[in-house]
A and B are shown apart, each in its own frame.
Chain A
Amino acid sequence: MDLSYYPGCTLKTAAKGLEDSAIASMNALGIRLVEIERWNCCGTVYSLAEDDLAHHLAPVRNLIRVKEQGSDRVVTLCSFCYHTLKRANLLVRNDGEKRKTLNDFMEEEVDYNGEVEVLHLLEVLRDEVGWEAITEKVKVPLQGLKVAPYYGCTLLRPQDVAIDEVERPTILHQMMKSLGAEAVDFPYATECCGSFQIVGNPDFINQRAWEILSSAIRCGAEAIVLTCPLCHFNLSQRQPELVKRYSDFQGMPVFYFTQLLAIALGIDPEVCHFELSYGDPFSLLKSRKVVS
């Protein structure tokens, strides 16, 4: 089965490991992710102002690309892209006046009325592939790996874009179990890491990251699994700073959900681009003998 796929900017650079491991894993599960043509940046954040329609143009244009290419569904891997495309789509569907203004402004484009369905890859794994089918395809069960699912914000809030229970999500837990790993609960699983404040207020984000990672360690996790490239940057790439700053912190591997999927499906770990992660995730997998 082919599925239209919107990558977003960061998946082509810092989050290459998210993209390549997802494409390879989905191939192994019988779904080909077909990158849409002429896509543009989604704008990363959804405009929250009633009088700001200009910032909805970028996500809506991407949905028009999907429609033009004859597809009625698009899947995203990045949590921010999912959020922005999904909310812009709901706006177009539910607000006739704004839909007309947007379509009038984009006179060079075909009219868009919300025909496309926006999905996150986790939804495809849960609803179309299914956890049992994934377990059947697992070649290397992640036996003994204690991993804490960290959900972040944009897949869960607000309610109308949530892919799971807003306050008590389990979708990543279920996925980890389907791969043979142990999902560790911890109290920061749905708390924001501080997001883009890493640019303007990095000190506060260091504190947030340290609190989140230390809490997962205290609850018995040896790694974090997440979906969002910005959470990954704040919680993984920034760890050298945390190790310097907090004497009790010695680092912790952080995985994208698709990296663990690829490893469990027996795919060459090269697709995971572990060189782009801090905390040596590859060594942890080696110590569990799931990679050699």
Chain B
Amino acid sequence: MRIQISSRTLQSDFVKKVTEISGQDLLACNQCGKCSAGCPMCFAMDLLPNQIIRLAQLGLEEDIAASKTVWLCASCLTCTVRCPRGVDLGRVMEAIRLITLRKNIDYVGAAKIPKDTISELPQIALVSSFRKHTA
């Protein structure tokens, strides 16, 4: 993956925000790739979980925002329990989602879900989806 780093990205407050919301030390990650190896949703992701954390270290907010990866994370926490460096990647993913959601931008639009689908889905699916994917 080729990435362009400039003084603008390195000085962005994105790294600070992700660190604050997640409570995680992004620089503890040494890119071993174990998170991506075990991720059950990585078959659908355009960037792998370890690539997300690398981009976050570098403050490349726009590259992360252009990717669907954080929205495909199901918070199964497989990466969290396996990380040899103690980084809770589940929390990093949540922090990155929240930076978007807190701008009042939803990933799932409740109004766009067909009525039949809504009536089929159990509460546990709807409530958790809205909790993770709406502002």
Contacts and interface: CB of A to CB of B under 8 A. Distances in A.
Interface string B31-74: 00000000011011000000000000000000000000001101
Contacts of A201: 44, 72
A50 B122 contact: no
A48 B91 contact: yes
Sorting the interface of chain B by its residue count into under 10, 10 to 19, 20 to 34 or 35 or more gives: 35 or more
A114 interface: no
A230 B76 contact: no
Interface in A28-61: 41, 43-45, 47-52, 55
A191 B123 CA distance: 22
Interface string A207-237: 1100000000000000000000110010001
A196 B78 contact: no
B3 interface: no
Interface stretch (A139-147, A152-160, A248-256): A152-160
A158 B123 contact: no
A51 B20 contact: yes
Contacts of B129: 196-200
B76 A195 contact: yes
Contacts of B127: 9, 41, 43-45
A256 B74 CA distance: 22
B81 to A, nearest CB: 5
B121 interface: yes
B84 to A, nearest CB: 14
Interface in B21-36: 21-23
Contact of B128 (A159, A191, A230): A230
Nearest to B129: A199
Interface stretch (A10-18, A69-77, A283-291): A10-18
Contacts of B72: 197, 201, 204
A194 interface: yes
Given A50-B21, A196-B129, A229-B122, A204 B76 contact: no
A15 B122 CA distance: 9
Interface in B75-109: 75-78, 80-81, 88, 90-91, 94-95, 98, 107-108
A198 B113 CA distance: 12
B40 A230 contact: no
A207 B129 CA distance: 18
A91 interface: no
B123 A13 contact: yes
B10 interface: no
Interface centre among B76, B80, B120 (most CB of A within 10 A): B76
B5 interface: no
Contacts of A199: 108, 113, 121, 125-126, 129, 133
Contacts of A233: 121-122, 124-125
Contacts of B88: 48, 158
A200 B121 CA distance: 12
Contacts of A41: 123, 127
B74 A197 contact: yes
B95 to A, nearest CB: 6
Contacts of A195: 74-76, 128
Contact of A192 (B21, B40, B95): B40
A129 interface: no
A237 B76 CA distance: 21
B121 A158 contact: no
A50 B22 contact: yes
7 contacts: A9-B123, A45-B127, A51-B21, A192-B74, A192-B76, A230-B125, A237-B120
Given A45-B75, A196-B131, 12 more contacts: A8-B124, A9-B123, A44-B131, A48-B22, A158-B77, A158-B88, A196-B124, A196-B128, A197-B129, A199-B121, A199-B126, A230-B124
Interface of B: 20-23, 40-41, 43-44, 71-72, 74-78, 80-81, 88, 90-91, 94-95, 98, 107-108, 113, 120-129, 131-133
